[in-house]
Amino acid sequence: MAKKVLITGAAGFIGFHLSKRLTNNGYNVFGLDNLNAYYAPSLKLARLKELGVEGDLNNINIHDLQISKKSERFHFIRADVADHEFILNFLGTHQFDVIIHLAAQAGVRHSLRAPRDYLHSNINGFLSILEGARTTGVDHLIYASTSSVYGLNKTTPFSEKHITDHPMSLYAATKKSNEMMAHAYSHLFEIPTTGLRFFTVYGPWGRPDMALFLFTKAIFQNKPIKVFNQGQMFRDFTFVDDIVESIFRLIPNTPKPSKASNDLITSDDSTAPFRILNIGNSSEVSLLEYISCLEKHIGKTAQKELHPLQDGDLISTISDSKALYDITGFKPRTAIDDGIKKFVEWYRLYYHTMT
């Protein structure tokens, strides 16, 4: 029988792509999202429409379960993961085999302006999911962490074995907290949990608050782009399809307790059924090279405004994704030129922009 999967944040960037992939591959997928206004809900609604959720999407009722018109394998429900009582009842009713928890308040800079949003979604929301997994029993709980947890760590490439005790933003601190909360539940209740540290995800249907989207919009509109740290920034840009492929392969690969003695435990290893994995392209790309590639595919030169480094930003990120490959036989491989080309093609089509 096809596995029954809950994807939280299903109307979000990664959640949308993953919902489509799992539905197309025979999983019974229930997508949950609160459709908040952190960025334009119109994009989230467009993603849902692409998944086959129809009707008056601007007036989707809270807790109203809808079946996709494209596939009976996809159901959507509007709900907040921090609505503790509802989440426990919902998970108890549907008895999911796998939970993939992607819902979160994202963004480093927004955490400087609205810190309470992060406690609500990232801490209280994750607690609801953990409690639901505990009371209903799941084969595997997979959840999103972030490369931002590496914080002040200067050793690269970042390895899951590195200490992550010095976050540079509240967003990173809440994601580090998620990893610790997951370990506690894995240890106490033997819930298999896998935390995924994503490295700068980009691609079609991406978030409008991220650099690629902001740069593309500004270049098309002949407006200047803000280039922080005078362009001396380096990122491990990871195409969204590679993220989805990684998660798809991890679903049946549940973590097992390590046989290491307690005094040898590292940050990614435990005597509980717990693990942490990086998902990154393992290729450091400069911000200026990223912009140059974008200019090439748009066919315009960007007007660059150079700014100092922003609070909470890491100068460089690069992933050691060997552990992911050892488990799945897959590692992210999309070249930056191919990924940006696909994004620009989607952007032109979605916004009907040809100039």
Positions marked catalytic:
171
Contact of 279 with 324, CB cutoff 8 Å: yes
Of residues 181, 102, 99, the one with CA closest to residue 146: 102
Length of the chain: 355
Say whether 142 sits in a helix, a strand or coil: strand
Residue in this structure with the two tokens 């996809």, named with its chain if needed: 74
Cα-flanking dihedrals φ and ψ of residue 332, to 5°? -50, 140
Please answer whether residues 215 and 225 qualify as being in contact, where contact means their C-beta atoms are separated by less than 8 angstroms. yes
Look at the alpha carbons of 345, 350, 352, 353 in this order and tell me if their dihedral is positive or negative: negative
How far is the C-alpha of 198 from the C-alpha of 203, rounded, in Å? 14
Helices and strands: H and E segment counts in the chain: 12, 14
Alpha helices in the chain (DSSP H): 13-24, 41-50, 84-94, 110-113, 115-118, 125-136, 170-189, 211-220, 240-250, 287-298, 322-328, 336-351
In angstroms, the CA 224 to CA 4 distance is 46
For residues 199 and 281, is the Cβ–Cβ distance under 8 A?
yes
